[in-house]
Amino acid sequence: MERLHHRLNSAKKALGSFQQLAMLDQMNEIERDAAIQRFKNSFEACWKAAKEFLYNVEGIDVGSPKGVIRSCREVNLLQEDETTLGLKMVNDRNLTVHTYNEEVAILIQSNLTTYYHLLEKWMEQIRARISEKHIE
């Protein structure tokens, strides 16, 4: 369980950093690129925390981000619409290597606030489930 708590703490820190930029109304190109990088870092931290939760708490061993999102739906951590958005988020995360393409960068940027809120809610759901089950 120590590894799970470490993963959740990492996700919390990454989300705190991401929030600073995700909530900006107007971004210049440098802020946009930084926000996209923070999104990528936050996504990585969150899906790995969810993977650890599924393994340690739910007994589900899954190895890919999309598999983790689908499994979180199966254990009622995510709703159907959140799952759909989460799968779209994985696709956008995969596109972050192409942010040299202005159109791709603008597309990802347009979703950052929504992605931040989904990641934050996902981690809150995991923390609530841990608390519910009295897991240390």
What pLDDT shows up at residue 134? 77
Domains of the chain plus CATH, in order, are 2-132 (1.20.120.330)
Mean pLDDT of the chain: 95
What pLDDT shows up at residue 1? 83
pLDDT digits (tens, 9 = 90+) for 9-34: 999 999 999 999 999 989 999 999 99
Please state the separation of Cα 68 from the chain's center in Å: 11
pLDDT digits (tens, 9 = 90+) for 80-113: 999 999 999 999 999 999 888 999 999 999 999 9
Contacts of 4 (CB under 8 A, 6+ apart): 49, 52, 53, 56, 57, 130
